[in-house]
Chain A
Amino acid sequence: GESVGLHLPTLSVQEGDNSIINCAYSNSASDYFIWYKQESGKGPQFIIDIRSNMDKRQGQRVTVLLNKTVKHLSLQIAATQPGDSAVYFCAEGGGADGLTFGKGTHLIIQP
Protein backbone atom coordinates (compact mmCIF):
# COMPACT_ATOMS: atom_id res chain seq x y z
CA GLY A 1 0.00 0.00 0.00
CA GLU A 2 0.86 3.64 -0.13
CA SER A 3 3.23 4.95 2.43
CA VAL A 4 4.55 8.31 3.37
CA GLY A 5 7.60 7.34 1.38
CA LEU A 6 6.25 4.52 -0.85
CA HIS A 7 3.94 4.83 -3.83
CA LEU A 8 1.06 2.62 -4.96
CA PRO A 9 0.10 4.24 -8.25
CA THR A 10 -3.33 2.87 -9.11
CA LEU A 11 -6.27 1.10 -7.56
CA SER A 12 -9.07 0.06 -9.87
CA VAL A 13 -12.50 -0.90 -8.50
CA GLN A 14 -15.92 -1.53 -9.93
CA GLU A 15 -18.57 1.12 -9.48
CA GLY A 16 -20.65 0.23 -6.46
CA ASP A 17 -17.93 -1.79 -4.78
CA ASN A 18 -16.10 -0.70 -1.68
CA SER A 19 -12.59 0.73 -2.02
CA ILE A 20 -9.80 0.44 0.47
CA ILE A 21 -6.75 2.65 0.15
CA ASN A 22 -3.84 1.91 2.43
CA CYS A 23 -1.08 4.04 3.83
CA ALA A 24 1.88 3.18 6.04
CA TYR A 25 3.49 5.91 8.09
CA SER A 26 6.90 5.94 9.65
CA ASN A 27 6.79 8.46 12.48
CA SER A 28 5.46 6.81 15.60
CA ALA A 29 5.20 10.28 17.19
CA SER A 30 2.62 11.40 14.65
CA ASP A 31 -0.68 12.03 16.33
CA TYR A 32 -2.81 13.42 13.55
CA PHE A 33 -3.66 11.87 10.21
CA ILE A 34 -5.60 13.23 7.28
CA TRP A 35 -6.87 11.87 4.01
CA TYR A 36 -7.08 14.23 1.07
CA LYS A 37 -8.71 13.74 -2.31
CA GLN A 38 -7.29 15.44 -5.36
CA GLU A 39 -9.24 15.50 -8.58
CA SER A 40 -7.53 16.20 -11.83
CA GLY A 41 -6.53 19.84 -12.14
CA LYS A 42 -7.60 20.73 -8.62
CA GLY A 43 -5.95 21.17 -5.28
CA PRO A 44 -6.24 18.53 -2.55
CA GLN A 45 -9.53 18.48 -0.69
CA PHE A 46 -9.89 17.36 2.91
CA ILE A 47 -11.88 14.14 3.33
CA ILE A 48 -11.49 12.95 6.88
CA ASP A 49 -9.03 13.05 9.73
CA ILE A 50 -8.27 11.00 12.79
CA ARG A 51 -6.22 11.54 15.92
CA SER A 52 -3.96 8.94 17.41
CA ASN A 53 -6.23 8.36 20.39
CA MET A 54 -8.81 6.84 18.05
CA ASP A 55 -8.69 3.77 15.85
CA LYS A 56 -11.71 4.42 13.69
CA ARG A 57 -13.66 7.36 12.47
CA GLN A 58 -16.58 7.45 10.09
CA GLY A 59 -17.79 10.11 7.75
CA GLN A 60 -20.23 10.10 4.93
CA ARG A 61 -19.43 6.94 2.93
CA VAL A 62 -15.85 7.05 4.21
CA THR A 63 -14.17 5.39 7.14
CA VAL A 64 -10.62 5.86 8.31
CA LEU A 65 -8.94 3.13 10.30
CA LEU A 66 -5.76 3.67 12.27
CA ASN A 67 -3.57 0.84 13.51
CA LYS A 68 -0.84 2.39 15.60
CA THR A 69 0.77 -0.96 16.37
CA VAL A 70 1.82 -1.44 12.77
CA LYS A 71 1.68 2.25 11.82
CA HIS A 72 -0.96 1.72 9.19
CA LEU A 73 -3.79 3.96 8.02
CA SER A 74 -6.56 3.07 5.63
CA LEU A 75 -9.39 4.86 3.91
CA GLN A 76 -12.49 2.89 3.08
CA ILE A 77 -14.96 4.29 0.58
CA ALA A 78 -18.33 2.59 0.49
CA ALA A 79 -20.25 2.05 -2.72
CA THR A 80 -17.77 3.88 -4.91
CA GLN A 81 -19.13 6.26 -7.50
CA PRO A 82 -17.57 7.72 -10.65
CA GLY A 83 -17.03 10.97 -8.76
CA ASP A 84 -14.72 9.16 -6.39
CA SER A 85 -12.11 8.86 -9.12
CA ALA A 86 -9.16 10.90 -7.91
CA VAL A 87 -5.77 10.68 -6.30
CA TYR A 88 -5.96 10.09 -2.57
CA PHE A 89 -3.20 11.29 -0.26
CA CYS A 90 -2.63 10.41 3.33
CA ALA A 91 -0.78 12.86 5.53
CA GLU A 92 0.63 12.55 9.02
CA GLY A 93 1.50 15.27 11.44
CA GLY A 94 2.21 16.27 14.96
CA GLY A 95 4.11 18.78 16.96
CA ALA A 96 5.85 21.58 15.15
CA ASP A 97 6.79 19.69 12.03
CA GLY A 98 3.60 20.18 10.09
CA LEU A 99 2.17 17.60 7.75
CA THR A 100 4.06 15.03 5.75
CA PHE A 101 2.23 13.81 2.69
CA GLY A 102 2.41 10.51 0.90
CA LYS A 103 2.73 10.34 -2.87
CA GLY A 104 -0.86 9.36 -3.46
CA THR A 105 -2.96 6.50 -4.77
CA HIS A 106 -4.89 6.95 -7.99
CA LEU A 107 -8.35 5.46 -7.59
CA ILE A 108 -10.05 4.50 -10.84
CA ILE A 109 -13.71 3.55 -10.89
CA GLN A 110 -14.66 1.05 -13.55
CA PRO A 111 -18.24 1.28 -14.86
Chain B
Amino acid sequence: GAGVSQSPSNKVTEKGKDVELRCDPISGHTALYWYRQSLGQGLEFLIYFQGNSAPDKSGLPSDRFSAERTGGSVSTLTIQRTQQEDSAVYLCASSSGTLRFNEQFFGPGTRLTVL
Protein backbone atom coordinates (compact mmCIF):
# COMPACT_ATOMS: atom_id res chain seq x y z
CA GLY B 1 0.00 0.00 0.00
CA ALA B 2 0.93 3.64 -0.20
CA GLY B 3 1.25 4.20 3.51
CA VAL B 4 1.36 2.53 6.87
CA SER B 5 -1.88 0.78 7.70
CA GLN B 6 -3.14 -0.43 11.04
CA SER B 7 -6.00 -2.62 12.09
CA PRO B 8 -8.41 -2.51 13.69
CA SER B 9 -9.00 1.22 13.76
CA ASN B 10 -10.97 0.87 16.97
CA LYS B 11 -10.98 -1.87 19.57
CA VAL B 12 -13.15 -2.06 22.64
CA THR B 13 -12.37 -4.85 25.04
CA GLU B 14 -13.08 -5.89 28.57
CA LYS B 15 -10.54 -5.71 31.31
CA GLY B 16 -8.51 -8.90 31.49
CA LYS B 17 -8.89 -9.86 27.84
CA ASP B 18 -5.99 -10.09 25.39
CA VAL B 19 -5.83 -7.92 22.29
CA GLU B 20 -3.75 -7.98 19.12
CA LEU B 21 -3.05 -4.90 17.07
CA ARG B 22 -1.67 -5.15 13.58
CA CYS B 23 0.63 -2.90 11.60
CA ASP B 24 1.49 -3.10 7.90
CA PRO B 25 4.49 -0.88 7.23
CA ILE B 26 5.40 0.77 3.97
CA SER B 27 6.83 -1.81 1.62
CA GLY B 28 10.61 -1.88 1.77
CA HIS B 29 10.89 -0.02 5.06
CA THR B 30 13.25 -1.89 7.32
CA ALA B 31 12.44 -0.08 10.55
CA LEU B 32 9.16 -0.34 12.42
CA TYR B 33 8.13 1.40 15.61
CA TRP B 34 5.23 1.14 18.00
CA TYR B 35 4.14 4.10 20.10
CA ARG B 36 1.35 4.74 22.54
CA GLN B 37 -0.51 8.01 22.77
CA SER B 38 -2.74 8.63 25.74
CA LEU B 39 -5.41 11.31 25.56
CA GLY B 40 -3.85 14.75 25.30
CA GLN B 41 -0.34 13.35 25.65
CA GLY B 42 2.68 12.96 23.43
CA LEU B 43 3.99 9.80 21.93
CA GLU B 44 5.41 7.16 24.22
CA PHE B 45 7.91 4.87 22.56
CA LEU B 46 7.18 1.17 23.01
CA ILE B 47 9.33 -0.98 20.74
CA TYR B 48 11.58 -0.71 17.69
CA PHE B 49 12.36 -3.30 15.01
CA GLN B 50 15.22 -2.91 12.54
CA GLY B 51 15.57 -5.54 9.89
CA ASN B 52 16.44 -8.90 11.37
CA SER B 53 18.08 -7.47 14.46
CA ALA B 54 16.75 -8.16 17.94
CA PRO B 55 14.09 -5.55 18.74
CA ASP B 56 14.59 -2.76 21.21
CA LYS B 57 11.91 -3.49 23.79
CA SER B 58 13.03 -0.89 26.27
CA GLY B 59 9.80 1.09 26.02
CA LEU B 60 7.37 -1.72 26.77
CA PRO B 61 5.61 -0.73 30.02
CA SER B 62 5.16 -4.24 31.40
CA ASP B 63 5.54 -7.90 30.53
CA ARG B 64 1.91 -7.92 29.43
CA PHE B 65 3.06 -6.16 26.28
CA SER B 66 4.84 -7.99 23.50
CA ALA B 67 5.37 -7.50 19.80
CA GLU B 68 6.66 -9.46 16.91
CA ARG B 69 7.48 -8.77 13.34
CA THR B 70 7.20 -11.63 10.93
CA GLY B 71 9.26 -11.76 7.77
CA GLY B 72 10.53 -8.26 8.34
CA SER B 73 7.19 -6.78 7.37
CA VAL B 74 3.91 -7.03 9.29
CA SER B 75 4.03 -6.48 13.02
CA THR B 76 1.63 -7.46 15.77
CA LEU B 77 1.47 -5.78 19.17
CA THR B 78 -0.13 -7.99 21.78
CA ILE B 79 -1.43 -6.82 25.13
CA GLN B 80 -2.34 -9.57 27.54
CA ARG B 81 -4.76 -9.21 30.44
CA THR B 82 -5.64 -5.68 29.43
CA GLN B 83 -6.08 -3.01 32.09
CA GLN B 84 -8.00 0.24 31.92
CA GLU B 85 -4.77 2.21 31.89
CA ASP B 86 -3.91 0.49 28.60
CA SER B 87 -6.62 2.57 26.92
CA ALA B 88 -4.86 4.76 24.37
CA VAL B 89 -4.18 5.15 20.69
CA TYR B 90 -1.47 2.79 19.54
CA LEU B 91 0.52 4.15 16.63
CA CYS B 92 2.82 2.30 14.31
CA ALA B 93 5.45 3.98 12.17
CA SER B 94 7.98 2.78 9.65
CA SER B 95 11.06 4.27 8.12
CA SER B 96 13.73 3.41 5.60
CA GLY B 97 17.42 3.14 6.35
CA THR B 98 19.16 2.14 9.51
CA LEU B 99 19.26 5.40 11.42
CA ARG B 100 16.67 5.53 14.16
CA PHE B 101 15.91 9.15 13.53
CA ASN B 102 15.08 8.74 9.88
CA GLU B 103 11.78 10.28 8.96
CA GLN B 104 9.06 8.06 10.32
CA PHE B 105 5.80 7.56 8.50
CA PHE B 106 2.89 6.94 10.81
CA GLY B 107 -0.21 4.88 10.45
CA PRO B 108 -3.63 6.15 11.54
CA GLY B 109 -3.46 4.29 14.83
CA THR B 110 -5.66 1.86 16.69
CA ARG B 111 -7.81 3.34 19.42
CA LEU B 112 -7.99 0.84 22.25
CA THR B 113 -10.63 1.20 24.93
CA VAL B 114 -10.53 -1.13 27.90
CA LEU B 115 -13.76 -1.19 29.86
Contact = CB atoms under 8 A, between A and B. Distances in A.
Interface of A: 7, 9, 32, 34, 36, 41-46, 49, 89, 91, 93-104
B43 interface: yes
A49 B103 contact: yes
B104 A103 contact: no
Contacts, number: 55
A99 B101 contact: yes
Contact-size category for B:
20 to 34
B25 interface: no
Contacts of B104: 46, 99
Q: Which of A44, A95, A96 has the most chain B CB within a 10 Å cutoff?
A: A44
Interface string B2-45: 00100000000000000000000000000001010000111101
Contacts of A46: 103-105
A45 B106 contact: yes
B64 interface: no
A99 B48 CA distance: 11
Contacts of A98: 33, 45, 48, 56, 100-101
Given A7-B42, A43-B107, A100-B45, 16 more contacts: A34-B101, A42-B109, A43-B91, A43-B93, A44-B43, A44-B91, A46-B103, A89-B43, A93-B100, A96-B100, A97-B100, A99-B45, A99-B104, A101-B42, A103-B42, A104-B42
